[in-house]
Amino acid sequence: MNPFPTSKEDIVIDLVFGWLGESRINRTQAEYEAIIARVPKDEAVHSYVNQKLRELAQRGVVPYEICYFKHGDRHPWYQSFPTSLSRETVRTALTKSGLRRSKKRA
């Protein structure tokens, strides 16, 4: 798994920090640990994120389009701002951001 969040995972992280009334930057380790302790279960985060994305869509708010472009592409291509995200996207966003500890599989 790539250690850096994708654009969609970044949306999840932004929404979770906003939900908790926190900023993503310039925190001590102890402050991050306190934030991690307040993050609800993945299912609650998934429901909250999709509710917020639906609310944005209903109000006609489209903050930006997601641009995909990598080495070798002739042209960038764009995807609309999502109106919902999968449980897997939420789970990986929480893991990559450090808000969830990854579970080692045996």
pLDDT tens digits, 52-101: 999 999 999 999 999 999 899 999 999 999 999 999 999 999 999 999 87
Q: Let me know the angle formed at the C-alpha of 19 by 10 and 101, rounded to the nearest 5 degrees.
A: 60
Pairwise CA distance, residues 57 & 55, whole Å: 5
Cβ distance 65 to 78 under 8 Å? yes
Element of type H or E holding 67: strand 66-68
Helices 87-97 and 42-58, axial angle in degrees (round to 10): 110
pLDDT at 105 over 80: no
The pLDDT, as a whole number, for residue 1 is 82
The pLDDT, as a whole number, for residue 103 is 62
Pairwise CA distance, residues 64 & 46, whole Å: 21
Average per-residue pLDDT for the chain: 93
The pLDDT, as a whole number, for residue 46 is 98
pLDDT at 11 over 80: yes
Q: Compute the average pLDDT of residues 4-13.
A: 97
Tokens for 26?
A: 């310039």
Q: Compute the average pLDDT of residues 43-54.
A: 98
The pLDDT, as a whole number, for residue 4 is 94
82 secondary structure, DSSP code: P
